[in-house]
Amino acid sequence: MMNAKELKKAIEDNVKVLYRKTIDEASKEQVFYALSYAIKDTVIDEWINTHKAYDEQDAKILYYLSMEFLIGRALGNNIINLGARKEVAEVLEELGFDLTDIEDQESDPALGNGGLGRLAACFLDSLATLNYPAYGCGIRYHYGMFKQKIENGYQKEVPDDWIKNGYPFEIKRSEYSYIVKFGGNVRVDNVNGKEKFIQENYGSVKAIPYDMPVLGYENGMVNSLRIWDAEAITNFSLEQFDKGDYQKALEQENLAKTLVEVLYPNDNHYAGKELRLKQQYFFISASLQRALDKFKSTHSDIHMLPEKVVFQLNDTHPTVAIPELMRLLLDEEGLNWDEAWDITSRCMAYTNHTIMSEALEKWPIDLFKSLLPRVYQIVEEINRRFVVQIRDRYPNNAAEKEKKMAILYDGQVRMAYMAIIAGFSVNGVAKLHTQILEHQELKDFYEMMPEKFNNKTNGITQRRFLVHANPLLTDWITKKLGSDKFITDLPQLSGLKQYLNDDKSLEEFMEIKYQNKLRLVKYIKEHNGIDVDPNSIFDVQVKRLHEYKRQLLNILHVMYLYNKLKNDDNFDMYPRTFIFGAKAAAGYRRAKQTIKLINSVADVINNDKSINGKIKVVFIEDYKVSNAEIIFAAADVSEQISTASKEASGTGNMKFMLNGAPTLGTMDGANVEIVEEVGRDNAFIFGLSSDEVIAYENNGGYDPMTIFNSDTEIRTVLMQLVNGFYSPNNTEEFREIYDSLLKKQGNDRADVYFILKDFRSYAKAHDEVEKAYKDKKRWAKMALTQTANAGKFSSDRTIEEYVRDIWHLTKLRLDNAK
């Protein structure tokens, strides 16, 4: 890192060169670019150095293949990882600017939907910090996750043009471009008695990589996030590759344009869109071609590939990597099937992130085949050989097993099964989730190949979600522990336990929470125009909107509390602010109705003077990584209320915990492990267990009508959905929500997410929260207990487990690391 004087000069020079201005004339945005380029400059040498070390040490490289990297803003994070926070802030102050203001100028790159994409970003941070050689490989979507506007209570999607003004932390690397081919047909040639498969009459695009630096924490390591953009193949190469006509040229131009245009804004939902499959193959083919070329530039024997390269499939989205690697090894490298299969299956590992059946990717064979004719032939052969294996192993029930396990079945390509069959590792993302995979969802596979299955409980990076998000708490912890080692060794937080009975420390801890609540109050005032009482309990649910996550349960409970306040003279409550943040997939009706409901309830309650502000409801518009950081730091209560068994892990739960907010939640996903760490007394647990949920799902026996008929308070709340209480101009506004809770849904029973079933138990847990909160000292202790026990949930721990059990990487040595 340059010194203060050099940095100042670099910023001033950049402002001059970029904008022909002196620093005193520059806008905040201009200073953002000037500073960012200065930071990128300081990173470049270490970046080059790191990749030289890859080659010199002949390092094994991880390729983390993911359709999503929800990286969030880079500037502040890079400054932290360079260890330069104080210095940069001071230089900016001298120049008359505030660092957080400048950071706010950066667009918040949202190349992901939610948990899965953010996990990928945390993993990259940990990999670099732990000195592991790795590339993130993904897509350079021109439009990331949409920006959410709330208009009249409804979500409106606005395109997110994140690269409009240029993104300072990327480098275009045209020299590593590749051609990706779609469609056409396969011709089989016989060359010297050997079959050769030639794809012809195809359309093609050029894949051009852009690299972003991924900095380790103060260790001189700079890995790359490589995202692929698409360009049309221009005339010279068009001739060369396609001998194409004018019509084709136009088609290819169009394909290149649409291919990487936009991220599909679905989360946990598969839609079967052809363009999505094109996106998948596009970035996979380019990434694999590049990985093989890189390997071959320093190795002569392709059989060594599994020793030097490992591919991790982030869910099934990149699974076409399996037949694509086979294709490259067979058709380009000239290997025979057994050799190619051996290499492929030793290079590929798969992570499952969900058991929600609607998320499973099952491509129609017709579509798959016409888009990827050669790749499909290979899938057929993989499937054929696997079916032979099944028949061998299960001679008595082969047909049943085939139905349950074959890749090709019922006119579909079942991507998860291909990933399991071909790879050497299948992992879930929390203990409970992995157990459910082994014993329910994937039990036939577990039975057949138990050695492949393993658990890797998710984690989060403390560099972003503590050090960057919560500087006050970071400084306090550093002082209390006498060291900032926890920044790379999170379990050191357990040292805070010695302060659990120290009144002064507890007060300091809660004062920091209060300051962070003020910061959020300010954000809400500026962005929502709502006044919030910082002394109220900040009860927060932020995550994608999905029925299984049960934001509906939360808001129904708010409606219930409001009724009590209005109707029951003996009822009183501690002031609460219910904070929501959530994006709904653009085509997900029920989710959008739930957003409208939350906003309608907010309208009524926030404007009712008679309840003395005891309840406030805030829907934070456009929940994203940058405001998440502010929200986690300010939360008192972490709502993690998914229907048990449905949330594979959750990672927001860990971010709240790290920042001192106890969990109010079900025994689902990683909540189970959070409770294991803090103890049952330091969490507010409610609801059906995953076993109970699964038993009801399999055997029936739950009827929400009995609850509706017997519980008047719940009934009143439900009736308010359809009597215009919250929608005076349209009593039908929330009819579908009402129906979903009480009426049979096609073949499904009503209330598939057990909202009414869990309601009373949820309300009781809320009572416990209030009781605990009123006892200031008890609460402070409980809050500090969260932070002190968060050590397990660092993504550093997760990455070390992946390295130990799956990737087998070696730490890179960097000589001139500081």
| 469 CB neighbour count, 10 Å cutoff | 25
Catalytic position from the list 226, 362, 543, 646: 543
Q: At what angle do helices 503-528 and 625-634 cross, to 10 degrees?
A: 140
Considering only 54, 217, 264, 726, the residue that binds ligand 26M (CB under 6 A) is 264
Name which of 651 and 659 has its Cβ closer to ligand 26M: 651
Can residue 554 be called a binding residue for ligand 26M (CB under 6 A)? no
Query: Hey, which residues does 460 pair with through a beta bridge?
Result: 794
Considering only 266, 488, 666, 727, the residue that binds ligand 26M (CB under 6 A) is 266
Number of residues that bind ligand 26M (CB under 6 A): 23
CA distance readout (Å), 28 to 24, 99, 165, 400: 10, 10, 14, 65
Name which of 136 and 168 has its Cβ closer to ligand 26M: 136
Q: Are 2 and 39 in contact (CB under 8 A)?
A: no
Can residue 702 be called a binding residue for ligand 26M (CB under 6 A)? no
CA distance readout (Å), 678 to 35, 179, 658: 42, 52, 12
| Pick from 124, 11, 151: nearest CA to 68 | 124
What is the chain's percent helix, strand, coil content, to nearest 5?
A: 55, 15, 30
Question: Could you tell me if residue 360 is left (phi over 0), alpha (psi between -120 and 50 degrees) or otherwise beta?
Answer: beta
CA angle 210, 140, 655 (to 5 degrees): 105
Question: Could you tell me if residue 483 is left (phi over 0), alpha (psi between -120 and 50 degrees) or otherwise beta?
Answer: beta
Q: Which stretch binds ligand 26M (CB under 6 A): 111-119, 193-201, 383-391, 443-451?
A: 111-119
Q: Which residue is nearest to ligand 26M (CB)?
A: 115
| Pick from 326, 534, 316, 351: nearest CA to 428 | 351
| Structure tokens belonging to residue 250 | 């136009």
Shortest spacing between CB 457 and ligand 26M, in angstroms: 10
Q: Which stretch binds ligand 26M (CB under 6 A): 265-273, 294-302, 726-734, 798-806?
A: 265-273
Q: Which stretch binds ligand 26M (CB under 6 A): 339-347, 377-385, 412-420, 646-654?
A: 646-654
Clarify whether 543 is annotated catalytic.
Answer: yes
Q: Are 674 and 653 in contact (CB under 8 A)?
A: yes
Can residue 119 be called a binding residue for ligand 26M (CB under 6 A)? yes
Query: Checking DSSP bridges between strand 222-231 and strand 348-351, what pairing results, if any?
Result: unpaired
Shortest spacing between CB 669 and ligand 26M, in angstroms: 5
Q: What letter does residue 807 receive in the DSSP assignment? A: I
Q: Are 611 and 565 in contact (CB under 8 A)?
A: yes
Name which of 272 and 679 has its Cβ closer to ligand 26M: 272
Burial of residue 342 (CB within 10 Å: 0-12, 13-18, 19+) is: middle
Can residue 593 be called a binding residue for ligand 26M (CB under 6 A)? no
Name which of 505 and 594 has its Cβ closer to ligand 26M: 594
CA distance 241 to 586: 38
Q: Which stretch binds ligand 26M (CB under 6 A): 109-117, 122-130, 243-251, 622-630?
A: 109-117
Binding-residue pattern over the window 125 to 144 for ligand 26M, x denoting contact by CB under 6 A: --------------------
CA distance 468 to 493: 17
Q: Are 131 and 814 in contact (CB under 8 A)?
A: yes
Q: Which stretch binds ligand 26M (CB under 6 A): 188-196, 353-361, 472-480, 780-788?
A: 353-361
Can residue 115 be called a binding residue for ligand 26M (CB under 6 A)? yes
Can residue 751 be called a binding residue for ligand 26M (CB under 6 A)? no
CA distance 722 to 726: 9
CA distance readout (Å), 438 to 397, 435, 444, 447, 538: 20, 5, 8, 8, 38
CA distance 621 to 526: 11
Shortest spacing between CB 120 and ligand 26M, in angstroms: 9
* Binding to ligand 26M, residues 166-225 (CB under 6 A): none
User: Which amino acid is residue 72, in one-letter code?
Assistant: G
Name which of 64 and 270 has its Cβ closer to ligand 26M: 270
What 3 state SS string does 12-49 have? HHHHHHHHCCCHHHCCHHHHHHHHHHHHHHHHHHHHHH
CA distance 325 to 610: 66
Clarify whether 353 is annotated catalytic.
Answer: yes
Can residue 658 be called a binding residue for ligand 26M (CB under 6 A)? no
Name which of 536 and 795 has its Cβ closer to ligand 26M: 795
Name which of 221 and 628 has its Cβ closer to ligand 26M: 628
Shortest spacing between CB 254 and ligand 26M, in angstroms: 21
Clarify whether 269 is annotated catalytic.
Answer: no
Clarify whether 278 is annotated catalytic.
Answer: no
Clarify whether 651 is annotated catalytic.
Answer: yes
CA angle 721, 724, 727 (to 5 degrees): 90
Binding-residue pattern over the window 271 to 290 for ligand 26M, x denoting contact by CB under 6 A: x----x--------------
Binding-residue pattern over the window 377 to 416 for ligand 26M, x denoting contact by CB under 6 A: ----------------------------------------
| Pick from 123, 142, 130: nearest CA to 651 | 123
Shortest spacing between CB 508 and ligand 26M, in angstroms: 32
Query: Hey, which residues does 351 pair with through a beta bridge?
Result: 314, 427
Shortest spacing between CB 164 and ligand 26M, in angstroms: 24
Name which of 476 and 548 has its Cβ closer to ligand 26M: 548
Can residue 669 be called a binding residue for ligand 26M (CB under 6 A)? yes
Residues 6+ apart with CB under 8 A from 780: 506, 507, 509, 510
Shortest spacing between CB 301 and ligand 26M, in angstroms: 36
Catalytic position from the list 317, 544, 624, 766: 544
Find the largest Cα–Cα distance for the chain.
93
Name which of 44 and 271 has its Cβ closer to ligand 26M: 271
Considering only 651, 690, 785, 787, the residue that binds ligand 26M (CB under 6 A) is 651
Catalytic position from the list 655, 757, 766, 781: 655
Name which of 113 and 600 has its Cβ closer to ligand 26M: 113
Name which of 426 and 429 has its Cβ closer to ligand 26M: 429
CA distance 84 to 78: 9
Can residue 599 be called a binding residue for ligand 26M (CB under 6 A)? no
Shortest spacing between CB 348 and ligand 26M, in angstroms: 18
Can residue 85 be called a binding residue for ligand 26M (CB under 6 A)? no
Considering only 114, 144, 244, 581, the residue that binds ligand 26M (CB under 6 A) is 114
The H-assigned helical ranges of 543-588 are 551-567
Shortest spacing between CB 563 and ligand 26M, in angstroms: 32
Name which of 177 and 412 has its Cβ closer to ligand 26M: 412
Considering only 70, 145, 309, 359, the residue that binds ligand 26M (CB under 6 A) is 359
Name which of 11 and 349 has its Cβ closer to ligand 26M: 349
* Binding to ligand 26M, residues 410-449 (CB under 6 A): 429
Shortest spacing between CB 132 and ligand 26M, in angstroms: 19
Can residue 458 be called a binding residue for ligand 26M (CB under 6 A)? yes
Clarify whether 655 is annotated catalytic.
Answer: yes
Shortest spacing between CB 453 and ligand 26M, in angstroms: 16
Considering only 224, 280, 285, 354, the residue that binds ligand 26M (CB under 6 A) is 354
CA distance 376 to 370: 9
CA distance 573 to 369: 61
**What does the binding site for ligand 26M look like in residue numbers (CB under 6 A)?**
113-116, 119, 264, 266-268, 270-271, 276, 353-354, 359, 429, 458, 647-651, 669
Q: Catalytic site residues?
A: 353, 543-544, 549, 651, 655
